[in-house]
Amino acid sequence: MKIEKLYAEFQEKKQVAEIIGKEKLFESRGCIHWSKMSGKMHGKRAIGRPMTSRCVNNQKLDGCICQKCYATRINVIYPSMGAALQRNRDLNVNDILEDPPSFTTTDLTWRSNWNGDYEDEHDVLIDFAICDVLNYAICTAWTKQGNIVERVIDERPSNYTLMQSSYMINQQDDMWDFADQIFTIYTADYAAENDIDINCIGACRLCKRCYGDLSHRPKVINELLKGDEIKYFKLMGIE
């Protein structure tokens, strides 16, 4: 992506609240805890889950993006969030069928696993059930647990899309054949020195490269490490 266009998207992110305005995102939230997103995800519908034991173990790996996990910090700042996220993990399919969510016609997309990850197939099947009742909306699920998703991938609804999340900073994983996209985080220095095509820096509601119809979504999504944006632009000649 041209650096000037990327910088414009970065600047636009600062005004996303005014651009989007005060929208009504839900007709009904149903039995699900939907998190109120801020920052670049302002105005996105998203559900999270508690961190798994794998999340904790990954934080011990040198160079793993899990060492920079913003969810860890958020969970400390908002300790009461843990119970709400646990409610999502404790859901069963009948809960969703009996008390389903419904969206307004604004931005018919949603994200799964903004916090935490899949613990087992049950978590994946809950997302599938949400997709079934929200059959007019498209889910993007972020995960590092491809082995879990693969066990039930044949049951995937057509409106469930999968974002593979790379484990290491500055290193894209080998892409699973059942993933729709792959997401990797880079430092400013590495991205500038290695001509990495950074294409994730703006507001998610405006960018849409990770959400909605797959026909306009690139296979590879590259984002800068949080806080490295200004340094990157300086390295690329934009002050």
Per-residue pLDDT, 120: 97
Average pLDDT over residues 115-141: 97
Average per-residue pLDDT in the chain? 93
Residue 81 has pLDDT above 90, yes or no: no
DSSP per-residue codes, the chain: --HHHHHHHHHHHTTHHHHH-S---EEE-TTS--EE--GGGTT-EEE--PPPHHHHHHTTSTTBGGGG-HHHHHHHH-TTHHHHHHHHHH--HHHHHHS--EE-SS--EEEE-SSS---SHHHHHHHHHHHHHTTTSEEEEEES-HHHHHHTGGG--TTEEEEEE-SBTTBPPPPPTT-SEEEEEE-HHHHHHTT----B-S-HHHH-SSSS-GGGS-SEEEEEPTT-HHHHHHHTT--
Per-residue pLDDT, 239: 78
Per-residue pLDDT, 98: 97
Q: Label the pairing between strands 102-103 and 26-28.
A: antiparallel
Could you give the CA distance from residue 229 to residue 10 in angstroms, rounded to a whole number?
8
Per-residue pLDDT, 70: 73
Per-residue pLDDT, 49: 95
List the domain range (segments joined by +) for residue 196: 3-235
- Judge if pTM exceeds 0.85: yes
More confident residue, 18 or 218: 218
Per-residue pLDDT, 158: 97
Band of pLDDT at residue 13, cut at 50, 70 and 90: confident
Band of pLDDT at residue 171, cut at 50, 70 and 90: very high
Count of domains in the chain?
1
